[in-house]
Amino acid sequence: MAQHPTLATLAADLAAGRTSARKLVDDCLAKIADKAGEGARVFVHVDAEGATAAADAMDKLRKANAAPSPFAGIPISIKDLFDIKGQVSRAGSRALDDAPPAVADAPAVARLRRAGFVVIGRTNMTEFAYSGLGINPHYGTPKNRWHRDIGHVPGGSSSGAAVSITDGMAYGALGTDTGGSCRIPAAYNGIVGYKPTARRIPLDGGVPLSFTLDSYGPIARSVGCCATMDAVLADEPDAPVVQRPVRGMRLAVPTTVMLDELDPAVAQAFDRTVDVLSRAGAVIERIAVPEFADVATLNAKGGFSAAESWAWHRALIAKKADLYDPRVVSRIRRGEALSAADYVDLLAMRRAMIASFERRVTPYDALIAPTVAITPPVIADLADDAAYTKANVLSLRNCAMINTIDGCAISLPCHREGEAPVGLMLAAAGGSDRRIFELAAGIETTVRG
């Protein structure tokens, strides 16, 4: 990843006058417009006029020593489910085409703008964020950069967000994560994605999937990039992440569920990474986490995502069901069969799981596991519904565990150059965000070099 610019290196270049915000934006717009690239599928809306005007303004502010932050002028992308003033938030769907334009930016978007980041456009996504694969029948599916000629899925639901980073169309991306939607596309595309403790970042101004499980987070090139964006999103001071030395880290590998049905390439990359960390001095223990086995029971009838998405969508489905992706609307409809008593049971079960999990992981700095059990499937192989469902379940499985127990987690690449992309997930109980970034920064240096 060293050959790619990070937010820190871009900030240094802007400060030294080696580049300008306008040049960064123009370069990104050129890549988006390249007909040989994925821009038409990565973005559902490109705000070229607004982005160039914002870039020019940031360049003038920097010349006057008045830039709002060191990152002012750096172009970023915004997932299509966030409100951006004057634009329609379609959430990757056609069912919201006639929705009124947003009257204000979502707080997450407003905070990024306040720091001077330039919003270059809205990125494609799985319709209403309800899949881990990134396939969208309305706007097309952005192809993964890995073996693009074959056409592998980008991962979802923040599909366009991840490809906007890998293809240099933006330098940071705002995504969401309800069951892995920042971490899965990051893992599938060989970059970094972060799922914060949900309560740290306001969820206003976004089309919800699950009020209980939703969280808003960044996708970018490095751990440091994600930490910078996370601080802005959480309205916290941006402080450099101090790398924790790998030696002495206390890491636990959950043997319950998360290591089941791994693709050989995933198992190989993960085992090699565990060995590298162990030889570097990390204390690694394999432990059972029975709470993860209980997640299947919690989700047997559709879980929070089905119940809460049905509550939000039921009136829209009554009018426009024919405009939905059939694979999405069928999953939302599962919530119709859930009773109020079922929902109360879900809440009680989750509270108990969180308390039990937090007690279990107290002795460890973090859990480590493969972010996703499989490598990115080929898009053409998922035309069959059975194949789609199996790939979707395996894409979501590991990540969704952390949303269920209200934790925080990061995915960083752990494959070697030329291998299929594989993500390493570090996770901990909610509120451990700063620790996760410090651990991940140390591991990133050790694993990737």
Give the whole-angstrom CA distance, residue 229 versus residue 58.
Answer: 18
Please name the residue ranges forming H helices in 66-207: 107-114, 159-166, 183-189
Token pair recorded at residue 84: 């951006």
* Close Cβ partners of 437 (under 8 Å, ≥ 6 residues apart): 223, 226, 227, 230, 241, 410
Catalytic annotation present for 157: yes
Q: What is the pTM of this model?
A: 0.98
Give the whole-angstrom CA distance, residue 213 versus residue 211.
Answer: 6
Catalytic annotation present for 181: yes
Q: Which residue has the tokens 């991306």?
A: 173
Give the whole-angstrom CA distance, residue 183 versus residue 195.
Answer: 7
| Number of CB atoms found within 10 A of residue 337's CB | 12
* Nearest of 350, 348, 329 to residue 400 by alpha carbon: 350
Triad 137, 169, 99: Cα angle to 5°: 45
Length of the chain: 449
- Delineate the domains of the chain, giving CATH numbers in brackets: 7-233 (3.90.1300.10)
Instruction: Tell me the three state secondary structure of residue 305.
Output: helix
Residue 287, pLDDT score = 98
Per-residue pLDDT of the chain (449 residues), as tens digits, is 346 899 999 999 999 999 999 999 999 999 999 999 999 999 999 999 999 999 999 999 999 999 999 999 999 999 999 999 999 999 999 999 999 999 999 999 999 999 999 999 999 999 999 999 999 999 999 999 999 999 999 999 999 999 999 999 999 999 999 999 999 999 999 999 999 999 999 999 999 999 999 999 999 999 999 999 999 999 999 888 999 999 999 999 999 999 999 999 999 999 999 999 999 999 999 999 999 999 999 999 999 999 999 999 999 999 999 999 999 999 999 999 999 999 999 999 999 999 999 999 999 999 999 999 999 999 999 999 999 999 999 999 999 999 999 999 999 999 999 999 999 999 999 999 999 999 999 999 999 86
Catalytic annotation present for 278: no
Instruction: Tell me the three state secondary structure of residue 331.
Output: helix
Catalytic-labelled residue, pool 20, 158, 181, 432: 181
Catalytic-labelled residue, pool 89, 157, 158, 159: 157
Residue 2, pLDDT score = 40
Give the whole-angstrom CA distance, residue 303 versus residue 299.
Answer: 4
